[in-house]
Structure 1
Amino acid sequence: MAEKKIDTTIVAEVRESFGKGAARKMRVLGKIPAVVYGHGTEPQHLALPGHQVALLLRRKNAVLEIKVNGKTQLALVKDVQKDPVKAIIEHIDLIVIRKGEKVIVDISVHVEGESYPGTIANLESATISVEAEATHIPESVVVNIEGFEDGTQIHASDLELPAGSTLVTDPETLVINIVIPAEVDLGEDEDEVEAAEGDEATESTEAAE
């Protein structure tokens, strides 16, 4: 079944009032304050439809088609500011982009498979930076670690990048490290534990007598 295409067209309003009070009123009305800039254009302060934008932001590096006063322009979500307690979106920064333009973005590293029994896979770098076409930004890079043994290290240069992407992160960056977990050190050896248990038993016997 073909994947359903997501409508990324956002009808925005030009924002006339500013400040914390104005932004708060805007959010009460279900709108999100935003600014879009880049390519030598003057920054535009906008009000975006909150629910629709929140759904689109579930995708990393979302590209939106911003429609303002009948004109449409592509914009890449650069920064999302959220309330640390309520997790409400407070403000969004967007950058104007053009079709065919290359941009540098961070994408997630997604690990699949199970390493060799008895080992664990430490994800040392959860994201990497790549250069990709602005309208074809990959969401993640997939790494299959099935059967990888202790001591295996996967660096950025070892990753199979999505088509059309170029690595920007230092190629020597360690991304995944396969290791055998260290045993927990209890701080006492078995002899010390047995001796301590023996002393406790003797003290209990003496107390009973």
Structure 2
Amino acid sequence: MISLQATIRNNFGKKARSLKNQGQIPAVVYGPGVKNFSLQVDEKEFKKVLLKAGESSLIELRLDKDPLVSSGQEKKPVLIHDIQKDPVSGNIIHIDFYQADLKEEVKVMVPLVFEGTAPAEKDLGGTLNKNMLEIEVKALPQNLPHEIKVAIDSLKTFEDHILVKDLVLPKDVKVIKDPSEIIASVLAPQKVEEELATEIKENVEGVEKVVKEKKEEVVIEEPKG
């Protein structure tokens, strides 16, 4: 299990805002039967862990001080539940860690990684159409996958498609999705052009509608004699 060093945080307000200058990110840990507590993690180390584990794999928080005296544990198995970013800079400003019950299944979104080459795209000039980029799964926290790979080599014609039921899942992992839903397919060149034309037409019609409504809002009053 990937581990991340963390420090219990007791400073809040203005002092907490200075953490960024120290290369630290404020965070909180919560979960069923867990007393919420605040901590801070090193920004560079967290980004390394995020790259490896993502938001669907269990990681181990190593605390320099345990706020839950009764448990006596210094290591906490958690999920990276939420990451808040500055809307302007894109920098991470806060992290939510979820300490899950290892005996209870949880639901998370797992990214889909498309591998290989679709013959219908390479040889027939089609365009790969990805209907899903992530999918919701259910499993015990320790069994959650970092990603699910999707082999697209089977897409040999424009009639071929990959369904949810075609996914190769790790043991004890269930997908929370209709098995018949399409994950990926290859669109024929003409089909792509038709969809683009339809999209452009809809955009133009939308603009024309707005312009018309604006014109109708303008009322010209005749000068009073």
Q: Do both proteins adopt the same fold according to a TM-score greater than 0.5, normalized to the shorter chain?
A: yes
Query: Letter of the aligned partner of 2:161 in structure 1?
Result: Q
Alignment pair present for 1:95 and 2:103: no
Q: Distance in 2 between matches of 1:22 and 1:173?
A: 50
Partner of 1:202: none
Structure 1: unaligned runs, 5 residues or longer: 1-5, 188-209
Partner of 1:203: none
Partner of 1:81: 84
Q: Where does 1:32-111 land on structure 2 (aligned, <5 Å)?
A: 32-58=25-51, 59-61=53-55, 62-68=57-63, 69=65, 71-111=74-114
Query: Letter of the aligned partner of 2:36 in structure 1?
Result: P
Runs of 4+ aligned structure 1 residues displaced above 6 Å come to none
Deviations 1:103-157 (A, max 9, x none): 2111122222223222222001111111123123212222222252102222212
Partner of 2:139: 132
Alignment pair present for 1:15 and 2:9: yes
Larger Rg: 1
Q: Distance in 2 between matches of 1:156 and 1:176?
A: 9
Query: Letter of the aligned partner of 2:99 in structure 1?
Result: V
Q: Distance in 1 between matches of 2:62 and 2:114?
A: 37
Partner of 2:160: 152
Say whether the 8 Å CA contact 2:158–2:186 is kept in structure 1. Answer: yes
Structure 2: unaligned runs, 5 residues or longer: 67-73, 198-225
Q: Distance in 2 between matches of 1:109 and 1:53?
A: 22
SS in 2 for 1:86: coil
Partner of 2:187: 179
Query: Letter of the aligned partner of 1:14 in structure 2?
Result: I
SS in 2 for 1:75: strand
Q: 1:31 aligns with which of 24, 29, 37?
A: 24
RMSD after superposition: 2.3
Shift of 1:7: 4.6
Say whether the 8 Å CA contact 2:128–2:187 is kept in structure 1. Answer: yes
Alignment pair present for 1:120 and 2:124: no
Aligned length: 179
Shift of 1:53: 1.2
TM-score using structure 2 length: 0.70
Higher strand share: 1
Deviations 1:61-116 (A, max 9, x none): 24332233152211111011112332211000011124454221111222222232
Deviations 1:24-80 (A, max 9, x none): 201111111001001222211111122211210113124332233152211111011
Seen in structure 2, the aligned counterparts of structure 1 residues 65 and 143 have a Cα distance that, compared at 3 Å, is: closer
Q: Distance in 2 between matches of 1:115 and 1:163?
A: 30
Percent of aligned positions with the same letter in both sequences?
A: 27
Higher helix share: 2
Query: Letter of the aligned partner of 2:89 in structure 1?
Result: K
Shift of 1:184: 4.7
Seen in structure 2, the aligned counterparts of structure 1 residues 7 and 78 have a Cα distance that, compared at 3 Å, is: closer
